[in-house]
Structure 1
Amino acid sequence: MNTLRQHIESIIFTSSSPISRDEILNCINSFFGTNFDIDVIQTLIDEIKVVFDAPEFSFKLIEIDNGYQFYTKAQHNDLLNYFLKQQHRKKLSTASLETLAIIAYKQPISKVDIEAIRGVNCDYAVQKLLEKELVSISGRAETVGKPLLYKTSEKFMSYFGLKNIQDLPKPKELELTENSIGLEENLNS
């Protein structure tokens, strides 16, 4: 019965939404070729609730929407909210990824040149990349106004698992020629 309880725990833990005791029963009986009764499943679910109510566990089993799901206990909410905010900050927007790709392939490059390639203002994207320490300022250009130049950082290398900048994938060169798509038509027919 202890092993059966562990199987039930793992099913509930794995489910992304509340799972009913009937779904648990059907899964167990189908997978193991057994014929357990719903009362056995309910008894084990009740045991799991008691076990996870103990203070040494950070999770508890909740009955919700005619099913069961593990939830973290309320005393961990502040920490988990902080953690999720930190994780969210690690993600890069499409604009930031495009800007980062331009910097990686064209470094050192000025913001004006990045904007010329992207066709839009990139102040916010560059600022976010600097905050995340994925790019750094490498100096100033010897052009009018002496704009700042940006390059990738060491953190960029580890973030993308690169040993050096030469490990970046090579952009494919596209050469379009006249009539390169489809068959050439015979216009004299």
Structure 2
Amino acid sequence: MDRKRQVGKAEMQQSPLLSTEARLVEVILFLENEPVSLERLSKMTSLSEETTRNAITELQEHYRENLHGLDLAESQGAFQFLPSSDLHDKLRSCYGRRVDRRLSRAALETLSIVAYSQPITRREIDNIRGVSSDTIIRLLRDREYIKVIGRKDVPGHPCLYGTSRKFLFEFNLASISALPKLSDIDRLRFEAEPTQEKKEEA
């Protein structure tokens, strides 16, 4: 056995083995195309939510400490595997150009509103921007930066929009919580006046 194989074997022996629960969660997240919530993972694995959460923590530590090509990221209470942040620049040439070269200022503004205010309806986006966002929302959906993540429980049940896995990857974010903090001015700007939807809900 050459030295390279000996080193690799030694590293494998030193790397802690994953529990059966962690391996089960790992394969489910690998097979799913979308982020999976803790509640759904618990049901799919037939494990308690506490055991499932412990398995996720075990996986996150395992992937972080052993320099894998993937990170187990959490976004809005759901979990998914994403490319490790240190590999993003190497992957961009194969999997896409920079976002800011493809999106207009208005599109970037709308995408920012969705990212910081999600889940959010089209009317709420319009209220913040002061203009109709129909065309831009269609564009962002076509390019898979945003998606419908539910419906608001008000008359008409309007779609609720949120960001996608592609958005996180393109902006080099492990999760939504990694977004830069808004300035006081921007935070106030994103706090629009109550829309008719909210008034009806009240």
TM-score (norm 1): 0.45
Highest relative contact order (Cα 8 Å, sep 6+), 1 or 2? 2
Which structure features the higher share of helix residues?
2
